[in-house]
Chain A
Amino acid sequence: MVSTPQSAQRLTDDQVLLRDTLRQLADERIAPRAADIDRSGEFPEDIRQLLAQQDVLALPFPAEHGGIGGDLLTVCLAIEQIARACTTSSLILAVQDLGSLPLRLGGSAEQLARWVPDLAAGRRLICFGLTEPEAGSDAAALRTTAVRDGDDYVLNGTKRFITNGSVAELVTVFAVTDREASRHRRLSCFIVEVPTEGFRVARVEHKMGIRGSPTAELEFRDVRVPAANRIGEEGDGWSLAMRTFERSRPGIAAQAVGIAQGALEAATAYARDRKQFGQRIGDFQMIGAMLADMDAQTEAARQLLYAACEIIEGGAPDAARWAAIAKLVAGDTAMKVTTDAVQVFGGYGYVDEFPVERMMRDAKITQLYEGTQQIQRLVIARALLGPARE
């Protein structure tokens, strides 16, 4: 066995039991579905039900509204274990977390009471609508507008690459409420309940990986949203988004660590069983060295993530830097480890009878979304150097 309980120095007994329970759940109920989910490209509604039933979707939410009130590390542990078996399935939890973070960070008591119970119970899914066709890395360049009209706002614009956008009942939308304001005060954040008049899922992407996760383009044409659905004040959007990333990027790091671990375990099992030239291939130094590096890198990414979670949860002033470092390292690790895993399998790694080719395709997204690796580097550099000087 590659992963032992002894890597759990920072974990409480509850977290260990949670991690082990989810590992078993993932191995027995999710892993057998992973290949099918990837091949069919269909959203795994059965896995969503399973996660809801096991209270996994309740993890990030406050206990007084039916959640479990799990801290950042606990949520990441859950994402990691699920991702080991199936990246698409892990996204169900990760996006429920991401999509609801603005609400949890900045929502009023009334708003929490209104939406959290359904989200915690997994009865409704929520997604995060920030990215647009012309505003990916340059998030401040959003064009979706929200214009006040009486007690409502009217939303117009398009959001692209929205995970779960076609299955979620709630969309957390970032839109420009004041074009004239300074860069970081132009945006506001709204929860839009869908379906609703003027809202349309324009397309769903066909992707390299996470194929069971629907990535949608959402169109808003004169969509009316009550002002009571605005999170925080007008202009709070940017800061809500940034504070969200501090907590959601570790979630993606956790996903990446999970993918890497799954690939490592598959490759190790193969290296144990596969014989060539009269011995098991794992005993050849070139293979053994690859596996050793894969393990060391995965463990490093994992321990970094756990440390980052504790530091961020503790309210460190450089939380953004920690989140970026964790995500940067984990994403690159996942890509390297899965690529090497395919290598260990040789020709068999290229065919879908074995899971590593899927894991390699799934790993790539962890270098792209939640801020590309390049954006993570910008965040870290800025933390080191301070803001850009003219």
Chain B
Amino acid sequence: MATLWVVGEVGTDGSLARISAEVATLARTLAQAAGGGSEAAGIVVAADPGPVADGLAGFLPRVVAIADPAAAGHAWSTIAAERVAAVVGDDADAFVFLGAGPDGRDLAGTLAALTGRGVLVNATGAAWDGRLSVEMSAFGGKLITTSGFTGGGGIVTVRPGTVTAEPAAAAGTVERRDAGEPLALPAVAIVEQIEEAGAAAPIEEARVIVAGGRGVGGVEGFELVGELAAALGGAVGATRAAVDSGWIPYSQQIGQTGKIVKPELYLALGISGAIQHKVGMQTASTIVAVNRDPDAPIAEFADLLVVGDLFEVGRALLVALRGRSG
């Protein structure tokens, strides 16, 4: 009988983060497969956990909402890790699931040290067949491994897009708790929060990514990339070459020295597909490339390659896409 805890993270608009909805859906499915009274449950730690807890309760039968005033004005992950550790306690068969973003991973590492549990990161799938097995991608996508915990429970961080979020049939209960003991770990003060215009939603979460490479040629060229991304409801990505040339910020960089993404659609414009970029996106469900060169490396692993000028094809595609929804 296992308990699969899901730590709810807050999205940019203050409600439940989409990754947490996905992770909760996954945990629910696993609890069902585990059977024997196993359950999935949520934990939310925040100064005011209400909104996120209510959101998470749409996906899980019960949610523990911990109000910790320290969470306001301090870095979240270490505070949340201590509170999560207290909730999970010594239950040997407890699993804790988190999103694989920066906050989730920070929490996972802290929690691992606090509880002595094992941790598996960046899961791209999970299943229950007598025990929890977690699928991960290794060596830049060359290998897919299935791993498990040697003890009973463990900590898992889950990549965006691993499952589609599906609300539960009925909303779950929210149990409010106070923070409890004072924190043992030092809380790090947030002196200021700075918003940057153009700071995009993390591209790891995007369902569709339209990416530009060296062929885009400049900042102006990326306007077309942005328009196509918008038309497809997706995010803008880039190769290192484009970022190094200053055409787009580093936060959009995909590849060995940037982000690893697994969107449903990766539309690559003017990207050769060299290995350093390939490892960042090769597990996308569908890869479409537009390139002048039919022998570019991306031809090896794209599903569809349109040989042509990326601006001409791109503009025609934009017209076609807008024409469909119009």
Which chain A residues border B295 with CB–CB below 8 Å?
Answer: 273-275
Q: Which residues of A contact B297 (CB under 8 A)?
A: 273
Give the distance to chain A from B244, nearest Cβ to Cβ, in Å: 10
Name A270's closest neighbour in chain B (CB-CB). Answer: B295
Among residues of B, the one whose C-beta sits closest to the C-beta of A275 is B295
Determine the distance from Cα of A210 to Cα of B47 in the docked complex, in whole angstroms.
67
Q: Mark B295-317, 1 if CB is under 8 A from A, else 0.
A: 10100000000000000000000
Q: What is the number of residues of chain B that contact chain A, defined by CB distance less than 8 Å? A: 2
A320–B135 CA distance with the chains assembled, in angstroms: 64
Give Cα A274–Cα B293 distance, bound, in whole angstroms. 10
Q: Please, which residue of chain A has its CB at the minimum distance from the CB of B296?
A: A273
Q: Say how far A348's CB is from chain B's closest CB, in angstroms.
A: 11
Q: Give bound CA distance, A274 to B297, whole Å.
A: 10
Complex alpha-carbon distance, A288 and B105, angstroms: 49
Task: Give complex CA distance A273, B297 in Å.
Answer: 7
> How many residues does chain A have at the interface if contact means C-beta atoms less than 8 Å apart?
3
Chain B residues lying within 8 Å of A273, measured Cβ to Cβ, are 295, 297
Bound Cα distance A274, B295 (Å): 6
Cα distance A275–B295 when bound, in Å? 7
CB distance from B54 to the nearest CB of A (A): 51
Q: A77 → chain B, closest Cβ, in Å?
A: 26
Determine the chain B residues whose CB is within 8 A of the CB of A275 once the complex forms. 295
Task: Fill in one digit per residue for A272-294: 1 if any B CB lies within 8 Å of its CB, else 0.
Answer: 01110000000000000000000
Residue on B nearest A276 in the bound complex, by CB: B295
Q: Distance (Å) between the CB of A390 and the closest chain B CB?
A: 65
Min distance, Cβ B32 to any Cβ of chain A, angstroms: 49
Tell me how far the C-beta of A284 lies from the nearest C-beta in chain B, rounded to whole angstroms.
Answer: 15
Within 8 A of B (CB), among A242-281: 273-275
Nearest B residue to A274 by beta-carbon distance?
Answer: B295
B276 vs chain A, min Cβ distance (A): 12
Docked CA distance A96–B295 (Å) = 42
Determine the distance from Cα of A187 to Cα of B295 in the docked complex, in whole angstroms: 60
Q: Give the nearest-CB partner of A272 in chain B.
A: B297
Instruction: Please give me the residue from chain B that is nearest to A273 by CB atom.
Output: B295
Q: Whole-angstrom distance between the alpha carbons of A275 and B300 in the complex?
A: 12
Chain B residues contacting A274 (CB-CB under 8 Å) are 295
Question: Nearest chain B CB to A277's CB is how many angstroms away?
Answer: 13
Interface residues as binary, B204-228 with A (CB distance below 8 Å gives 1, 0 otherwise): 0000000000000000000000000
The complex places the Cα of A273 from the Cα of B294 at a distance, in Å, of 10
Shortest beta-carbon distance from B21 to chain A in Å: 42
Q: Which of A94-124 contact B (CB under 8 A)?
A: none
A 211-246 contacts with B by CB, 8 A: none
Tell me, in angstroms, the Cα distance from A273 to B295 when the chains sit together: 7
Contact with B along A331-344 (1 / 0, CB 8 A): 00000000000000
Q: What's the nearest-Cβ distance from chain B to residue A281, in Å?
A: 10
Q: How far is the CB of B285 from chain A (nearest CB, A)?
A: 26
> In the complex the two chains form, what is the Cα distance from A275 to B299 in whole Å?
11
Provide the B47-64 mask, 1 if CB < 8 A to any CB of A, else 0: 000000000000000000
Give CA–CA (A273, B299) in the complex, Å: 10
Bound-complex Cα distance A275 to B296 (A): 10
Kindly state the separation between the CA atoms of A273 and B296 in the bound complex, as whole angstroms.
7
Chain A to chain B: the 4 pairs with minimum beta-carbon distance, closest first: A273-B295, A275-B295, A274-B295, A273-B297
4 inter-chain pairs at a CB distance below 8 angstroms, sorted by A residue, are A273-B295, A273-B297, A274-B295, A275-B295
Name A residues whose Cβ lies closer than 8 Å to a Cβ of B: 273-275
